[in-house]
């Protein structure tokens, strides 16, 4: 039995936001979309004849979808987030100069890093800095999510090696 998604969206968006509130800010938009997708799929699949109350059923669908997505995003606390670096490789130097004007060493280190990135790493970095998840990067580039994650791990290690903290 398909239910009205529009009214369910209005009713359950606060629940979705509560579920994703414990995740890092940079993933919340993606996780909100995953929660809405779980809501939509739950609305389409809900069968009252099975005896489960709609509210309980839909909350499980939402929570499971968000948790599955979060696992795919592989939130590793030891990895260095890159969102402060910039949104585009071509403008990275300018952004670094604005944000880290007091640190010539950071600018020089980042300039030294760029030639050390492979073509794959540069492409993955541009997509990551534009806010895409590993799964979205993999889909767009036609590679496995594991390859995208591995590229990000290599990039982050290169950043750790070249940018002084």
Write the pLDDT tens digit of every residue in 40-99.
888 888 888 888 888 888 999 999 888 888 877 754 444 444 444 444 444 445 544 444
For residue 104, pLDDT over 90 is answered with: no
Write the pLDDT tens digit of every residue in 126-150.
787 677 888 889 999 999 999 999 9
Please state, in angstroms and rounded to a whole number, the distance separating the CA atoms of residues 148 and 146.
5
For position 105, what pLDDT does the model report? 52
Residue 4: how many CB atoms within 10 A of its CB? 10
Counts of helices then strands in the chain (DSSP H, E): 8, 0
More confident residue, 128 or 10: 10
For position 123, what pLDDT does the model report? 87
More confident residue, 137 or 164: 137
The rounded Cα 151 to chain-centroid distance in angstroms is 15
For the chain, domains (ranges, CATH) are 5-73 (1.10.1740), 89-162 (1.10.10)
For position 14, what pLDDT does the model report? 94
Q: Vertex 116, ends 144 and 128: CA angle to 5°?
A: 40
């Amino acid at each position: 039995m398909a239910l009205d998604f529009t009214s369910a969206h209005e009713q359950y968006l606060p629940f979705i936001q509560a579920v994703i509130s414990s995740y890092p800010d940079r993933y919340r938009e993606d996780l909100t979309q995953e929660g809405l997708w779980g809501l939509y799929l739950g609305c389409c699949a809900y069968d009252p004849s099975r005896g489960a109350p709609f509210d309980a059923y839909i909350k499980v669908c939402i929570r499971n979808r968000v948790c599955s997505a979060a696992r795919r995003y592989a939130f590793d606390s030891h990895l260095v987030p890159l969102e402060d670096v910039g949104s585009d490789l071509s403008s990275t130097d300018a952004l670094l100069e604005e944000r880290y004007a007091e640190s010539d060493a950071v600018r020089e280190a980042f300039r030294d890093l760029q030639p050390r990135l492979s073509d794959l790493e540069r492409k993955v970095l541009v997509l990551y800095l534009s806010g895409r998840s590993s799964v979205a990067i993999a889909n767009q580039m036609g590679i496995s999510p594991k390859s995208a994650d591995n590229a990000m791990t290599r990039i982050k290690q290169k950043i750790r090696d070249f940018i002084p903290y």
